[in-house]
């Protein structure tokens, strides 16, 4: 039988340089690393029982290997993984949020929003994995560029919470040429609800009175979206 020392797994520092995540990133670039290797770098070190890569694999296993599912988990769920405390759980969440924000910046600043897919490109990275609904108003200038993103409500969407006064106050202050309404469905299904339709009708009518047209209402799901304009619901 192999001795206890022979059966001991090597730590990352004992591995050849070509197999260490940090050195591989420096030598080859981040894109060649697996998700477990990247997560191991975020964790910084392993535990008494597991290397950093092994610990990262444990974290991934709790979410079926999906980084998106990890981002959706509360910090407490990550703390439940043996070897992951509060500091490491918070660090993981922070790194995934940075990735989400970077994706949100991918669209070139000043590019006009011409179609629902342009709206999705801007808002989906931030909204599609949120555990609660957020209602945003995209304020557009005369060239259809995004002038400002206004968060109106966070929570269950209904017509009593989204008041035209709150929506159009910022639009008037910014001298908006038009608005696009955007919100997410945490369920992942972007099918409009009765409240979604009621809110849209209310705000479209207010926009007509104020001469600030509402061009669309885009509901962000998980990998899907619904555009009221495309669906003929405006």
User: How many residues are there in the chain?
Assistant: 234
pLDDT at residue 115 greater than cutoff 50: yes
125-176 pLDDT, tens digit each: 888 888 889 999 999 999 999 988 888 888 765 555 677 888 898 888 888 9
Give long-range contacts, CB 8 A cutoff, 24+ apart: 195-199: 195/157, 195/158, 195/159, 196/157, 197/233, 198/158, 198/159, 199/135, 199/157, 199/158, 199/159, 199/162
pLDDT given at position 136: 92
Considering the domain 116-227 in this protein, what is its CATH number?
3.40.140.10
Within the chain, all domains assigned CATH 3.40.140.10 are found at 116-227
Q: Can you give the pLDDT at residue 45?
A: 84
């Amino acid at each position: 039988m192999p001795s206890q020392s022979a059966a001991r797994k090597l730590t990352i520092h004992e591995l050849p340089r070509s197999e260490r995540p940090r050195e591989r990133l420096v030598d080859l670039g981040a894109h060649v690393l697996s998700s477990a290797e990247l997560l191991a770098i975020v964790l910084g070190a392993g535990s008494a029982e597991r290397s950093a890569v092994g610990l990262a694999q444990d974290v991934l296993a709790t979410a079926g290997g999906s980084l998106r599912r990890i981002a959706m988990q509360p910090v407490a769920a990550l703390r439940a993984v043996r070897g992951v405390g509060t500091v490491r759980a918070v660090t993981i969440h922070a790194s995934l949020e940075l990735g989400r924000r970077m994706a949100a910046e991918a669209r070139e600043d000043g590019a006009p929003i011409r179609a629902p897919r342009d709206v999705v490109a801007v808002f989906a990275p931030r909204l599609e994995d949120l555990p609660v609904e957020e209602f945003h108003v995209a304020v557009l200038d005369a060239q259809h560029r995004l002038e400002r993103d206004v968060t109106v409500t966070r929570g269950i969407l209904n017509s009593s919470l989204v008041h035209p006064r709150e929506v159009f106050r910022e639009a008037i202050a910014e001298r908006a040429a038009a608005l696009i309404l955007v919100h997410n469905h945490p369920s992942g299904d972007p099918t409009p609800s009765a409240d979604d339709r009621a809110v849209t009708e209310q705000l479209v009518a207010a926009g007509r009175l104020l001469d600030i047209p509402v061009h669309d209402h885009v509901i962000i799901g998980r990998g899907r979206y619904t555009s009221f304009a495309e669906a003929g619901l405006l």
